[in-house]
Amino acid sequence: MKKFSVLALSALLLMGCSTAPAQKTDAELEAEGWVKNPLENGYVMATDAPTPTALPDPRDTTKMYKPSKDEAEVACTADSYAAACSSINVDNLIDYLGRDDVVYIDLRDYNDYAKKHLKNFEVIPYFAVIFNADANTDATLPQLYGGSVTEPIDVYEESDDLLHAMIPTDKTVFLMCQSGGRVTQLMNLLAAKGYDMSKIYNVGGMGQFEGSEFRPYTTDNAELAVTATYAFEGLTRK
């Protein structure tokens, strides 16, 4: 896969890190009985490792939702990707934060992300780098896919490789944006690209996480403004 870059303030990508005891290798730590803590970064002894809360199915099929504002409510199904159907949301997300077995992704742009975001969510701007309906016909647009989210058209020979690099196919993924709409779009695109949707969660939008209980988990830099330019380098347009 060719090297690519997103020209932006990459320093704003907050990545979790951990320091192993005594700076030993993973193999040395495991030989001594240490394991990675499943609830947070770092290591604990295997006998002391907490048991993470089991993840529910991504969609709660006991719920009802409106496919659009003009439609009547219908029952949620396993392929209903709206935030209203999610089993993990503002009511219980705290119970599932800080896990090593989950990848946390925020789909807003860098400016909104920089101003306020949940810790450990990395930013991958959906509209800027993943999808634009005209990207496959307008060479000035950099996104990976055009067409529609249910029938995405690859813009580059490497589009799928880059998507897999950004959003792994073998991990559980929590997706959020501002209200949950971008997540719904991306989940339709991921389903069209063959992702295992039993591992993909729409946890809602940042606008919902305003309660005081979320303050310890929130980075708030309201004074910070970011201007970002997005582009891919070294790719082959179809």
Average pLDDT across each block of 10 residues of the chain; the chain has 238 residues. List them in order: 39 39 69 60 60 88 92 95 96 94 96 94 97 97 98 98 97 95 97 98 95 94 91 95
The pLDDT value recorded for residue 35 is: 60
The one-character DSSP state at 206 is G
Which residue in 220, 232, 5, 208 sits closest to 93, CA to CA?
208
> What is the per-residue pLDDT for 7?
37
Q: What pairs with residue 176 in β-bridges? A: 106
d(CA 130, CA 145) in angstroms, rounded, equals: 6
Total-model pTM: 0.79
We find that the CATH architecture of domain 53-220 is 3-Layer(aba) Sandwich (3.40)
Other Cβ atoms less than 10 A from the Cβ of 105: the count is: 20
Tell me how far apart the terminal alpha carbons of the chain are, to the nearest angstrom: 15
DSSP codes joined into one string, 58-120: SB-TT-EE-SSTTS--EE--TT--SGGGBSSSTTTGGGG-S-TTEEEEE-S-HHHHHHEEETT
pLDDT score, position 6: 39
Identify any residues that bridge with 218 across adjacent strands, giving them in sequence order.
Answer: 118
Task: Please give the pLDDT value at position 24.
Answer: 76
Tokens 């700076």: give the residue.
23
At 10 the pLDDT is: 37
Q: For the chain, what are the domain ranges? A: 53-220
Q: What is the CA radius of gyration of the chain?
A: 19
